């Protein structure tokens, strides 16, 4: 059987005899840390920041070398572009500019800038909601705690659309103030 590749304007197709199989050019992964109520933030910050070193190492290992898409509020809370990543800030503002980041004004524009390969969506709440319908994978760090006065939440997971593909448990220790689990969900 001979495989031939043909590029079309929006998709890459492989033709096998008369059968055409569309191939996805990129995958979209949402990555976040959530508390027991799926809270991801309170007043523009994350309550366990600096207290969960294994989560930070996990985040770096999953996103390093890949494009990351975030909202402007998430970028503002981080305060600087993340190293070894193409940083794309999705914002409605036409005035926003910052060195080391590429600005996008629509989801399509952000995905186009990111290109092919693994695209990582790193927040915040509104950005997760916008990408939930087109995501292929979700990587959550479930942290066994409850945030004080949370005001930002990860979207609810529809159990008919998502299945757990992998779970790795982490425990409270000198570098991690809470028990936690790294859970990968795949779209069904």
Residue from 108, 111, 151, 130 nearest 27 by CA: 111
Residues 6+ apart with CB under 8 A from 173: none
Q: Angle at the Cα of 80 (from 78 to 83), degrees rounded to 5?
A: 105
Round the average pLDDT of the chain to a whole number and report it: 88
Query: How confident is the model over 75-108, as pLDDT tens digits?
Result: 999 999 999 999 999 999 999 999 999 999 999 9
User: What class does CATH assign to 25-187?
Assistant: alpha beta
- Do 143 and 180 contact (CB within 8 A), yes or no? yes
pTM: 0.86
Statement: residue 61 has pLDDT above 80: yes
Long-range contacts of 82-90 (CB under 8 A, 24+ apart): 85/120, 86/113, 86/114, 88/113, 88/114, 90/127, 90/130
Residue 49's pLDDT is 83
Query: How confident is the model over 140-166, as pLDDT tens digits?
Result: 999 999 999 999 999 999 999 999 999
3-state SS, residue 166: strand
* Total residue length of the chain: 188
What's the Cα-to-Cα distance from 59 to each of 32, 66, 84, 138, 169, rounded to whole Å?
8, 12, 13, 12, 15
Give the residue extent of every domain in the chain: 25-187
């Amino acid at each position: 059987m001979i495989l031939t590749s043909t590029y079309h304007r929006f998709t890459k197709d492989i033709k096998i005899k008369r059968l055409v199989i569309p191939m996805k050019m990129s995958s979209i992964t949402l990555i976040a840390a959530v508390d027991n109520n799926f809270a991801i933030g309170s007043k523009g910050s994350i309550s366990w920041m600096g207290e969960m070193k294994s989560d930070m190492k996990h985040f770096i290992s999953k996103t390093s070398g890949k494009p990351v898409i975030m909202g402007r509020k998430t970028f503002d809370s981080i305060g600087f572009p993340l190293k070894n990543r193409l940083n794309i800030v999705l914002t409605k503002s036409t005035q926003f500019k910052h060195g080391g980041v590429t600005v996008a004004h629509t989801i399509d524009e952000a995905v186009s800038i990111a290109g092919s390969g693994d695209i990582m969506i790193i927040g915040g709440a509104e950005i997760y909601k916008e990408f939930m319908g087109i995501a292929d994978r979700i990587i959550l760090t479930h942290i066994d705690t409850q945030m004080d006065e949370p005001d930002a939440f990860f979207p609810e997971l529809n159990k008919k659309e998502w299945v757990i593909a992998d779970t790795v448990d982490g425990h409270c220790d000198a570098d991690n103030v809470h028990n936690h689990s790294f859970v990968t969900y795949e779209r069904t």
